[in-house]
Structures are given as structure tokens and as C-alpha cells.
């Protein structure tokens, strides 16, 4: 009798094991990282899988995550605008405008803090915010997840990605973080300039593109780098076209939005904001944390003659004593031409990033 029972139990165990193995076997996702980028650090508790990325992409475009089923992440982060929204400040489902400009979502897997004030430390943590934020998607997570669970397709996708149908907001965040980690941009003319300067050999097609860079764009790049020119490189450099930091670039003498200081309460952080990437910058107008500048011309004028002094102004805004770097019209045009070299058209047309429906 005992033996029969034992056999029975072990076959049940075997059987259930087998079922698990067959239907939940996620496939590792291999990131397509440009050779001149550092290795992306993937959190140990959220490995990249094809199923996770696919689910994340569906969720990113899912309007059910908002209170009235009208808004998804993509409403404020649109692919053709390098995942920004073209608005001065973003407006949520209830028509209430926030006080900050939507941020482009580019190469975020390489970063260690998020939002204009750097208040989130991980993508997984960051993603939880917009859904429940009353001036954004304004939906409770419990309700959002209930709506998803009504959909058999989602139940299947969650099972394929995480091996469970009893999922919650943390699974949603993990899947979306996986999708956002795939949003890598590293194929602009800027990348070709970077590669050549760092002794990385170009392919033939890259070399042809490199040769097509105009003299005006090159002059703009020289200004961008040069201390006596536009002096942008201090903060917008390297393969990310940004340094990781929160700094005050002289927009205001006194602050209505305290920026980093709203998080730390430290007066030496007032007016400091995340240094944004300049990748795809020609696509992400309007500019700055409050969207105050409608065009790149206005941005260039700011750095040229509009710098405001304040106690936290960054020392690397070097010509602050004379209001800025004082570019003439010719130089401004060249700098603007160079800023267009940061546009990566293969990024905004990548079919893997678009709405899956």
C-alpha cells in the first residue's frame, strides 16, 4: 500500500513539473548594444526575456492602464518624437497639466536615476508612478491589474513572461522596464564622430555616412566641444551624449520648481535638474524641464546670452559672468546643424518599438 501511494505521489510530482517546464520557458533576450556603449547592467531579479519584452511593449501602449481607458505611456512618450510628447508640460486624463516636460526615453537602461529631479533609482520603481499619478494616468494599480486580468491575451502573456497568472503591479513594472531597456539609440552621425575619435573602425556604410557629414556640421561639433566656442561637452558628452548628474544650467535666478532640492531638501541642490541626453534632440521640442524653449534656436540663445546667475549655477557654465558663451549668428547656425547630427532615424523607425496592435 505504502509503495503504491509513493508511486502515485511521485508521478503527480513528475507530471506537474513537466507541465511547468513545457509552458513556462522564457527565452533569454539578447540586447543589441552598440560596440561603443558600456555593458548594460540588468537587475538580477528582472532578467531580459523575449516574452517579458513583448509583454512590456503591449503594456507600454495599453490604454487600460489609465482611469478612463484613454491614455497609455505612449500618449506622452511617442516613438516618432523619440518617446517625448511635443507639449510644453504634459497633461493627464483629467486635463490637468503637470509642471514638467515629458522626457525622451532613450538609453535609459544605462542610467541610475530617473525623472528631472532624479527621484527614482530604478526603472522598475519609476514605472509605478505615472499610472497612479492623479495628474497623469490616474488609475489605481489594483484596478488597472483587474482590467488586464479580464483579458485572456494578457493572462497568457504574463504566464509566458513570469510563469504566473496571479500577477500584480510589480510584474507590470518589470515587463515595461524590460521593454524600455531595449530602447537603445546609438546609430546617429554623432556616433560616427565618436567612433572615429575613439579609434573604432567604421564599416563601409558607416564610412560613407561619415564622409557625408557637412563642413557646417563639423564646425558645429568643434564649437560644441571647444571651451572658447559653445562649451557644451562638459555636460553633454560621451556615448550617452549626457553625463550622469543633476546640475543647474542657468535658466533662472530664483526658482519656482526647486528641482533636485524638492527631493533632498538641501539648498545646494536648488535649481538642479537631470542633465538630459541630447540624442534625437531635434525631435524632442519643446525643451528643458518646464518646456520653456520652443526651438533649438531658443536653447542656443539661452547658452549664448541668457545665463542667469544663482548660488547653485554650475561652475561648468563658464561664461556666466558675461551671460553666456556669446556665439555669433554663423556659429549658432553651425551648432544647430550639429545638434541635428544626434538624430538616429533607425531608432524612431524601429518596428520593434512601435504599437504592437
Partner 1 sequence: MKSKIFTLIVIGIVLLAGCKDKVNTTKNYYCQLKVVPLFNGQEMELNVPYTGADGNAFKFERIAFFTTNLSVNNYGLMKEASLFNMGKNEYLFNTKSLVNEVKTLDFHTGVTSQFNHTDPTIFGNNHALNIANVDGLHWGWDPGYIFIAIEGKADTIADGQDNFDHSFVYHVGKDGNGRLHQFENVETVALNDTTHCAYLYLDMHTFFFGATDTIHVNSENSIHEGGQFEALAQKTVENFNSALTK
The answer to whether 209 and 195 are in contact (CB under 8 A) is no
Radius of gyration for the alpha carbons in the chain, expressed in angstroms and rounded: 24
Could you tell me which stretch among 44-52, 158-166, 214-222, 287-295 binds ligand HEC (CB under 6 A)?
A: 287-295
Please, what is the minimum distance in Å from the beta carbon of residue 158 to ligand HEC?
16
Torsion on CA atoms 184, 187, 190, 194, rounded to nearest 10 = 90
| Footprint of partner 1 (CB under 8 A) | 35-39, 41, 110, 194, 197-200, 225, 227-228, 233-235, 237-239, 243-245, 268, 309, 311, 313-318, 320-321
Q: Give dist(CA 337, CA 223) in Å, integer.
A: 11
Q: Does 86 bind ligand HEC (CB under 6 A)?
A: no
302 in a known ligand binding site: no
Work out how close the CB of 8 gets to ligand HEC at its nearest, in angstroms, rounded to a whole number.
Answer: 48
Binding string, 124-153, against ligand HEC, x = CB under 6 A?
--xx--xx----xx----------------
Q: Which stretch binds ligand HEC (CB under 6 A): 28-36, 200-208, 260-268, 272-280?
A: 272-280
Closest approach of ligand HEC to the CB of residue 32, in Å: 20
Among 149, 282, 316, 319, binds ligand HEC (CB under 6 A): 316
Closest separation between CB of residue 355 and ligand HEC, Å? 14
Nearer to partner 1, 58 or 224 (CB): 224
Q: Residues of 47-70 as b/e, b for ≥16 C-beta within 10 angstroms?
A: ebbebbbbbbbbbbbbbbbbbeee
Is 235 marked as binding a ligand? yes
Report residue 34 as a C-alpha cell. Answer: 552598440
Going by the annotation, the residues of the binding site for heme c are 73, 76-77, 232, 235-236
Positions in the binding site for ligand HEC (CB under 6 A): 71, 73, 75-77, 90, 92, 98, 100, 102-103, 105, 108, 114-116, 126-127, 130-131, 136-137, 176, 230-232, 234-236, 247, 249, 251, 273-276, 278, 281, 284, 287-289, 299, 303, 314, 316-317
Amino acid at each position: 500500500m505504502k509503495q503504491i501511494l509513493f508511486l502515485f505521489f511521485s508521478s503527480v510530482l513528475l507530471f506537474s513539473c513537466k507541465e511547468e517546464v513545457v509552458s513556462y520557458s522564457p527565452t533569454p533576450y539578447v540586447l543589441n548594444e552598440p560596440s561603443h556603449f558600456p555593458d548594460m547592467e540588468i537587475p538580477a531579479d528582472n532578467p531580459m526575456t523575449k516574452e517579458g519584452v513583448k509583454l512590456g511593449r503591449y503594456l507600454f501602449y495599453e490604454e487600460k492602464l489609465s482611469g478612463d481607458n484613454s491614455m497609455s505611456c505612449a500618449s506622452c512618450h511617442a516613438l516618432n518624437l523619440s518617446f517625448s510628447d511635443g507639449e510644453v508640460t504634459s497633461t493627464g486624463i483629467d486635463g490637468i497639466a503637470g509642471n514638467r516636460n515629458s522626457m525622451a526615453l532613450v538609453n535609459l537602461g544605462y542610467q541610475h536615476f530617473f525623472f528631472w529631479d532624479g527621484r527614482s533609482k530604478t526603472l522598475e520603481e519609476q514605472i509605478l508612478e505615472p499610472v497612479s499619478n492623479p495628474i497623469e494616468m490616474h488609475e489605481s494599480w489594483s484596478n488597472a491589474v483587474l482590467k488586464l486580468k479580464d483579458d485572456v491575451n494578457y493572462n497568457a502573456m504574463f504566464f509566458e513572461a513570469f510563469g504566473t497568472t496571479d500577477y500584480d503591479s510589480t510584474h507590470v513594472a518589470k515587463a515595461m522596464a524590460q521593454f524600455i531597456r531595449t530602447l537603445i539609440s546609438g546609430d546617429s552621425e554623432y556616433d560616427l564622430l565618436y567612433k572615429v575619435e575613439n579609434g573604432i573602425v567604421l564599416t563601409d556604410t558607416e564610412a560613407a555616412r561619415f564622409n557625408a557629414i557637412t563642413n557646417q556640421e563639423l564646425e558645429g561639433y568643434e564649437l560644441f566641444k571647444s571651451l572658447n566656442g559653445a562649451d557644451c561637452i562638459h555636460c553633454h558628452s560621451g556615448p550617452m551624449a549626457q553625463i550622469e548628474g543633476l546640475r543647474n544650467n542657468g535658466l533662472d535666478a530664483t526658482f519656482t520648481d526647486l528641482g533636485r532640492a524638492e527631493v533632498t531638501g538641501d539648498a545646494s541642490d536648488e535649481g538642479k535638474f537631470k542633465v538630459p541626453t541630447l540624442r534625437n534632440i531635434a525631435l524632442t521640442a519643446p525643451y528643458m524641464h518646464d518646456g520653456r524653449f520652443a526651438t533649438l534656436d531658443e536653447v542656443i540663445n539661452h547658452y549664448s546670452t541668457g545665463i542667469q546667475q544663482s548660488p547653485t549655477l554650475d561652475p561648468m557654465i563658464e561664461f556666466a559672468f558675461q551671460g553666456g558663451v556669446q556665439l555669433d549668428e554663423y556659429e549658432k547656425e553651425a551648432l544647430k546643424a550639429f545638434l541635428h547630427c544626434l538624430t538616429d532615424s533607425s531608432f524612431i523607425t524601429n518596428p520593434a518599438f512601435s504599437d504592437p496592435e
